């Protein structure tokens, strides 16, 4: 199954393509309930849903990376607390983005 084509906008084509792929990938990944282990997942901080972060933590393999975008838009406190929990993640903030590596 391939990613849906990006919507027309003033955003550069490469960015639109990546956004469409990440949106499709996370939606597809979050819908799985099997024991699959992923290497990479993306979380849009604007979503503000702690449940999604917890589910992605389950789906990622130990050492898997969660790329978190739009942190400047203010995810709720539970999301921030989870992503900075050293028992669950090794988090590297990069401005409004963060790379979080799953521990364990």
Question: What's residue 76's pLDDT?
Answer: 81
8-32 tens-digit pLDDT = 555 545 445 455 555 545 545 544 4
Task: Please compute the mean of the pLDDT values over residues 63-89 and round it to a whole number.
Answer: 87
Question: What's residue 65's pLDDT?
Answer: 94
Residue scoring higher pLDDT (54 or 33): 54
Q: Which two tokens stand for residue 73?
A: 């838009």
Tell me the whole-structure pTM to 2 decimals.
0.64
Task: Please compute the mean of the pLDDT values over residues 34-48 and round it to a whole number.
Answer: 75
> Phi and psi for 74 in degrees, rounded to 5?
80, 70
Q: Which two tokens stand for residue 26?
A: 């996370």
Q: Cβ(42)–Cβ(67) under 8 Å?
A: yes
Q: Cβ(24)–Cβ(3) under 8 Å?
A: yes
Query: What pLDDT band is residue 95 in, cutting at 50, 70 and 90?
Result: confident
**What percentage of residues in the chain have a pLDDT greater than 70?**
62
Whether the per-residue pLDDT at 81 is higher than 70: the answer is yes
Question: What's residue 77's pLDDT?
Answer: 85
């Amino acid at each position: 199954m391939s990613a849906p084509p990006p919507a027309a906008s003033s955003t550069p084509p490469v960015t639109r393509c990546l956004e469409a792929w990440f949106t499709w990938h996370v939606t597809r990944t979050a819908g799985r309930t099997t024991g699959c282990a992923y290497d990479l997942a993306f979380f849009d901080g604007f979503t503000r849903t702690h449940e999604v972060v917890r589910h992605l933590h389950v789906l990622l393999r130990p050492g898997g990376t969660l790329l978190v975008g739009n942190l400047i838009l203010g995810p709720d406190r539970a999301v921030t607390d989870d992503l900075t929990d050293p028992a669950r993640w090794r988090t590297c903030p990069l401005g409004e983005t963060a790379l979080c590596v799953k521990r364990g």
